[in-house]
Structure formats: structure tokens, C-alpha cells
């Protein structure tokens, strides 16, 4: 029986090798994010990951992170500009922190068109924040999800889906506070300062 099994095992091994012949070794192990685990571990052990999460939660709690748009439009109306003014005021408090703006559309129209529309909406928000004194180097590459992440899953026109979302994404690595690893100081600095008499929000030009 043992002698009969050997040819079957060899044949199975050859078939497996043939199936892998047109794929790079390790292709299954790397889904395009090789190195992310190491980076994630570094951020966790340095405290950066935890503080980015805390800052993101604080940003979402203290200001409105979303602005909405008219149908097939990238124009920022008065309500959107007021929201972005509040975002800019918050962002100025943390010169060490970077942000990303994500663009979305409703489900009307093609995927390709809506991807471009979502990107233009995100770019409009970045341009407005920059006009309010926020350095573009702190506003990370704008990204569009187009129609892929609706708030309301409907194929009809839906204003709540036509939006951008601003999020905390990390730290400016060259900033002195970040270089010293003082992430907790970044989080709690404004809480402490806000209790001082005559406290004023720090301006971008006086970092």
C-alpha cells in the first residue's frame, strides 16, 4: 500500500507546483499592505496610534466633521463654510496634527463620474481650509469614495450622501513635539490652556 501511495503523493505535489508557477512566491501572504503590521506595532508602542485615535474622537465630538453639497455640485454653501470655519479653528490648535478629507456622492450617476465628483468636493474643502490659514502640508492627499459608502442606501438623490468628511490621520513627523514623542502633551495641552484666564486659540502662524 505504501508503494502505491508514493506516485499519488508525487502527482499531487506536481499539480500544486504547477498551479503556483504563474504566481510570485508569497503572493497570498501579501495583499498589498506589506509592512503595515510593523508600522502599526511601532505606532502603538510609541503611543502615536492611541493618541491619533483620541484626537480623532475629540475632533468628531467637538466639531462637525461633515459638510454636504447640492446635487452634482462642489459649491460650498453658507452652512458648509460655517462648518469648515469651525473645523479650521479646531485644526489651528494642533500644529502637529495632519488631516485627510474624504469625498462622497449619492448613488445617482456612474462610478467613474462620481469618483471624480467626490474628489472635486474633497479638493474644494481642502482649498477652503487652506484659505483659512491651514497649511496644505497638513492636509493629506484628498481621497474620493465616490458612491461606494452611502449614509442612506438609496438610488434616489440624497443630500446626506453628498458630503465630505474630515478626519485626523496622524502627526507631522518633523514637528519638534512629535520628534520628542510627546503625544500626550499634544492631546491635553489645549485642555489645560483653556482653563487659563484670557485664553485664546493659537494661530497657525505662531506655532
What percent of the chain shows pLDDT beyond 70?
A: 59
Burial status of residue 163 (CB atoms within 10 A of its CB: 0-12, 13-18, 19 or more): buried
Average pLDDT over residues 9-23: 52
Query: Residue 171's beta-bridge partner residues?
Result: 97
Average pLDDT over residues 128-155: 93
pLDDT 10s digits, 71-119: 999 999 999 999 999 999 999 988 889 999 999 999 999 999 999 999 9
| Homologous superfamily of domain range 65-192 | OmpA-like domain (3.30.1330.60)
- pLDDT for res 192: 57
From 100, 99, 96, 101, select the one nearest 171 (Cα to Cα).
96
Domain boundaries, the chain: 65-192
Do the bridges between strand 143-146 and strand 97-104 make them parallel or antiparallel, or are there none, so unpaired?
A: parallel
Amino acid at each position: 500500500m505504501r508503494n502505491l501511495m508514493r506516485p499519488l503523493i508525487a502527482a499531487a505535489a506536481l499539480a500544486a507546483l504547477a498551479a503556483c508557477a504563474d504566481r510570485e512566491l508569497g503572493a497570498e501572504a501579501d495583499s498589498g499592505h506589506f509592512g503595515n503590521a510593523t508600522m502599526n506595532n511601532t505606532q502603538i508602542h510609541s503611543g502615536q496610534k492611541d493618541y491619533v485615535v483620541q484626537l480623532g474622537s475629540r475632533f468628531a465630538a467637538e466639531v462637525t466633521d461633515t459638510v454636504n453639497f447640492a446635487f452634482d455640485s462642489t459649491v460650498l454653501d453658507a452652512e458648509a463654510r460655517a462648518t469648515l470655519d469651525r473645523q479650521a479653528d479646531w485644526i489651528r490648535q494642533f500644529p502637529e496634527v495632519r488631516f485627510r478629507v474624504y469625498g462622497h456622492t449619492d448613488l445617482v450617476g456612474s462610478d467613474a463620474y462620481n469618483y471624480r465628483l467626490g474628489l472635486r468636493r474633497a479638493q474644494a474643502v481642502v482649498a477652503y481650509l487652506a484659505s483659512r490659514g491651514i497649511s496644505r502640508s497638513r492636509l493629506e492627499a484628498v481621497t474620493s469614495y465616490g458612491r461606494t459608502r452611502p449614509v442612506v442606501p438609496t438610488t434616489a438623490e440624497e443630500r446626506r450622501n453628498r458630503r465630505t468628511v474630515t478626519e485626523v490621520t496622524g502627526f507631522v513627523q518633523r514637528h519638534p513635539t512629535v520628534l520628542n514623542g510627546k503625544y500626550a502633551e499634544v492631546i491635553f495641552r489645549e485642555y489645560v490652556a483653556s482653563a487659563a484666564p484670557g485664553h485664546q486659540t493659537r494661530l497657525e502662524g505662531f506655532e
